[in-house]
Chains A and B, each alone.
Chain A
Amino acid sequence: NAGVTQTPKFRILKIGQSMTLQCTQDMNHNYMYWYRQDPGMGLKLIYYSVGAGITDKGEVPNGYNVSRSTTEDFPLRLELAAPSQTSVYFCASSYYTSGFSDTQYFGPGTRLTVL
């Protein structure tokens, strides 16, 4: 198993550009998440998905969009990039069923800089 993979590892964007961060997991997890980590801080939830076709907002969703057409993939779209979106982005996945919450496994992260 590759676990959770993310691409790209690094990216520099200009203000106003758009991009998609890719995330794929091969563990057949139903839940997937996008977090951002600002310097010196813990992670904050951007969006999450409880299964294919179902997504919802987390704590800091403004400026982002997601989709989940398959169990494996959960891309994060940045529209009109702003300097405030400079951060490290982590994708994670887990298995959840009533009465059991599995550990969240993280991808290696994408370092994004908006200039």
Chain B
Amino acid sequence: AQTVTQSQPEMSVQEAETVTLSCTYDTSESNYYLFWYKQPPSRQMILVIRQEAYKQQNATENRFSVNFQKAAKSFSLKISDSQLGDTAMYFCAFIRDYGGATNKLIFGTGTLLAVQP
């Protein structure tokens, strides 16, 4: 069974600084996708970034980038130039590249990030 582990329940960072959130996963599959979702106090689940396992290049989206280490099964999120609006719960998620019952997101337990002014 696939599992996703986020070992940092809470983190804090000063505005304009850089922070890295950790995520590890366990799977025997070779084709899969990894995601970081952000959940602000509004509770909306917002996609931050997506990584296809077959791509060696790390995904980037503006101030957000990932360090994808497939052999180590590690998928960390780096937030540069942190902003107050980045304060949220961040979830790492995994999905296999198959349809049907297996096409479901497996979520970690989340990391609560607080950006301090």
Contact = CB atoms under 8 A, between A and B. Distances in A.
A99 interface: yes
Given A42-B91, A108-B43, A109-B44, A103 B50 contact: yes
Contact of B103 (A44, A99, A101): A101
Nearest to B52: A101
Contacts of B101: 48, 56
Contacts of B91: 42-43
A50 interface: yes
A43 B105 contact: yes
B50 A106 contact: no
Interface string B41-68: 0111111001000000000000000000
A111 B42 CA distance: 11
Given A108-B43, A109-B44, A50 B109 contact: no
* Residue from the set B50, B97, B101, B104 with the largest chain A CB neighbour count within 10 Å: B104
Interface residues of A toward B: which range? 20 to 34
- Interface of A, helix, strand, loop or mixed by DSSP: strand
B117 interface: no
A90 B93 CA distance: 15
Given A42-B108, A42-B110, A101-B97, A106 B44 contact: yes
A42 B104 contact: no
Nearest to B95: A101
Nearest to B45: A106
B66 to A, nearest CB: 14
B29 to A, nearest CB: 12
A59 B85 CA distance: 33
Contacts of A111: 43
A114 interface: no
A48 B104 CA distance: 8
Interface in B94-108: 95, 97, 99-101, 103-105, 107-108
18 contacts: A31-B103, A35-B105, A40-B109, A41-B109, A42-B4, A42-B108, A43-B45, A44-B107, A45-B105, A48-B103, A56-B100, A96-B103, A99-B97, A106-B37, A106-B44, A108-B44, A109-B44, A109-B45
